[in-house]
Structure 1
Amino acid sequence: MANRLVQSSSPYLQLHADNPVDWFEWGPEAFEEARRRDVPVLVSVGYLACHWCHVMARETFSDPKVAAELNEHYVAIKVDREERPDVDQALMRVTQALTGQGGWPMTVILTPDAQPFFAGTYFPPEPRDGQPSFTQFIDALASAWESRRAEVLESADTIVLRLQGMDHPPIRDVEDRKVAPTRLVTDVHTQYDSEHGGFMLGAPKFPQPALLDALFVRSDQMANDRALYTLDCMARGGIHDWVGGGFHRYAVDAGWEVPHFEKMLSDNALLLGTYTRGFLRATPDDGTEQHELFTKVASGIVGWMQQMQLPSGALASSQSAESLDEQGNSVEGAYYLWTPAQLDEVLGKDSRFAQGVFHVTFNGNMPSGAHAPTDGSGRSTLQYHGLPHPGRMERILATLREARSQRPAPAVDDKVITAWNGLAVESLVRAAIVFGHPQWLELATGIAGYLWQVHWDGQERLLARSSVERAGEFLIGSDGGAGDYASAVIGFLALGGALGDAVWIERAVELMDRAVELFHSGDGGFHDSMPDETLFERPRRYEDDAMPSATSMMVVALRQVAELTGRRELAERADAAAMRLRHVLVANPVHSGWGLADLLSRSEAAKGTGPAQIVVVDDSGDVMGELNRAAWRLAPWGSLVVRGPAGATGFGTLFDNRTEIDGPTAYICRDQVCVAPITQWADLREILWPHQH
Structure 2
Amino acid sequence: MPNRLADETSPYLLQHADNPVDWYPWGEEAFERARAEGKPIFLSVGYSSCHWCHVMAHESFEDEGIAAELNDRFVNVKVDREERPDVDQVYMDAVQAMTGRGGWPMSVFLTPGGEPFYAGTYWPKERRHGMPAFPEVVAAISDAWRDRRDEVLASADEIATTLRQAGSDPAADELDLSISDEAVRLVVGQAWDRQLGGFGRAPKFPQAMTISYLLDRHLRTGEGDPAEAAISALDAMAQGGIYDHVGGGFARYSTDARWLVPHFEKMLYDNGLLLAAYAQASAVSGAERFRRVAVETADYLLREMQQPDGGFSSATDADSEGVEGRFFVWSRDEFDEVVTGIGEDADLFAAFFGVSAAGNWEGTNILHEPARRDRFAEERGLDLAELQERIDRVRGALYERRSGRIPPGLDDKVLTSWNGLAIRGLALAGAWLAEDRYVESALATARFVEDHLVVDGALHHTWKDGRAAIPAFLEDVALLAGAYLTLYEVTGELRWYGRAVELAEDAEERFADTEHGGYFATASDAEELYTRPKDTWDNAQPSGNSVLAEV
5+ residue gaps, structure 2: 378-386
Distance, in Å, in 2 between the alignment partners of 1:120 and 1:419 is 27
Distance 1:129 1:209, change over 3 A: closer
Q: Secondary structure, in 3 states, of the residue corresponding to 1:406?
A: coil
Note if contact 1:242-1:300 (Cα within 8 Å) is conserved in structure 2.
Answer: no
Q: Secondary structure, in 3 states, of the residue corresponding to 1:505?
A: helix
Aligned pairs (5 A) from 1:583-602: none
Aligned pairs (5 A) from 1:54-69: 54-69=54-69
Which amino acid in the other structure matches residue 314 of structure 2?
S
Distance 1:533 1:420, change over 3 A: closer
Which amino acid in the other structure matches residue 542 of structure 1?
T
Aligned position for 1:359: 354
Deviation per residue, 1:188-230 (Å, 9 max, x gap)? 2121111111121x21111011111111122221111221121
Which amino acid in the other structure matches residue 224 of structure 2?
Q
CA offset at residue 172 of structure 1? 5.9
Aligned position for 1:623: none
Aligned pairs (5 A) from 1:110-121: 110-121=110-121
Aligned position for 1:31: 31
Distance, in Å, in 1 between the alignment partners of 2:493 and 2:165 is 47
Distance, in Å, in 2 between the alignment partners of 1:178 and 1:346 is 56
Aligned position for 2:501: 509
Note if contact 1:108-1:116 (Cα within 8 Å) is conserved in structure 2.
Answer: yes
Larger Rg: 1
Aligned pairs (5 A) from 1:399-438: 399-438=397-436
2:336 to 319, 341, 344: 344
Aligned position for 2:485: 493
Aligned position for 1:535: 529
Aligned position for 1:247: 250
CA offset at residue 502 of structure 1? 2.5
Q: Secondary structure, in 3 states, of the residue corresponding to 1:464?
A: strand
Distance, in Å, in 2 between the alignment partners of 1:378 and 1:7 is 39
Aligned position for 1:611: none
Distance 1:160 1:421, change over 3 A: same
Distance, in Å, in 2 between the alignment partners of 1:385 and 1:342 is 22
Note if contact 1:5-1:17 (Cα within 8 Å) is conserved in structure 2.
Answer: yes
Aligned position for 1:135: 135
Note if contact 1:246-1:304 (Cα within 8 Å) is conserved in structure 2.
Answer: yes
Distance, in Å, in 1 between the alignment partners of 2:185 and 2:326 is 41
Note if contact 2:327-2:406 (Cα within 8 Å) is conserved in structure 1.
Answer: yes
Note if contact 1:51-1:321 (Cα within 8 Å) is conserved in structure 2.
Answer: yes
Deviation per residue, 1:146-177 (Å, 9 max, x gap)? 11110100110111122234334455679x63
CA offset at residue 178 of structure 1? 5.4
Note if contact 2:280-2:432 (Cα within 8 Å) is conserved in structure 1.
Answer: no
CA offset at residue 382 of structure 1? 2.8
Q: Secondary structure, in 3 states, of the residue corresponding to 2:192?
A: coil
Q: Is 1:317 paired with 2:314?
A: yes
Note if contact 2:331-2:365 (Cα within 8 Å) is conserved in structure 1.
Answer: yes
Bigger drift between 352-361 and 42-51 goes to 352-361
CA offset at residue 384 of structure 1? 5.5
Which amino acid in the other structure matches residue 390 of structure 1?
Q
Q: Is 1:456 paired with 2:454?
A: yes
5+ residue gaps, structure 1: 284-290, 325-329, 369-376, 558-693
Which amino acid in the other structure matches residue 316 of structure 2?
Q
TM-score between both structures, scaled by the size of structure 1 = 0.74
CA offset at residue 322 of structure 1? 0.4
CA offset at residue 134 of structure 1? 1.7
The alignment's C-alpha RMSD in Å is: 1.7
Deviation per residue, 1:48-85 (Å, 9 max, x gap)? 11001011111111122221211111111111111111
Distance, in Å, in 1 between the alignment partners of 2:528 and 2:538 is 26
Aligned position for 1:584: none
Bigger drift between 143-152 and 495-504 goes to 495-504
Deviation per residue, 1:369-424 (Å, 9 max, x gap)? xxxxxxxx443333353224111111111111111111111101001111110111
CA offset at residue 125 of structure 1? 1.5
CA offset at residue 533 of structure 1? 4.7
CA offset at residue 239 of structure 1? 0.6
1:225 to 223, 228, 236: 228
1:335 to 303, 324, 327: 327
Note if contact 1:83-1:477 (Cα within 8 Å) is conserved in structure 2.
Answer: no
Q: Secondary structure, in 3 states, of the residue corresponding to 1:477?
A: strand
Aligned position for 1:587: none
Q: Secondary structure, in 3 states, of the residue corresponding to 1:315?
A: coil
Deviation per residue, 1:325-355 (Å, 9 max, x gap)? xxxxx11111111121111111114221111
CA offset at residue 509 of structure 1? 2.0
Which amino acid in the other structure matches residue 504 of structure 2?
M
Note if contact 2:170-2:517 (Cα within 8 Å) is conserved in structure 1.
Answer: no
Distance, in Å, in 2 between the alignment partners of 1:365 and 1:81 is 33
Q: Is 1:524 paired with 2:522?
A: no
CA offset at residue 183 of structure 1? 3.0
Distance, in Å, in 1 between the alignment partners of 2:350 and 2:129 is 38
TM-score between both structures, scaled by the size of structure 2 = 0.92
Note if contact 2:31-2:112 (Cα within 8 Å) is conserved in structure 1.
Answer: yes
Q: Secondary structure, in 3 states, of the residue corresponding to 1:157?
A: helix
Distance, in Å, in 2 between the alignment partners of 1:104 and 1:19 is 19
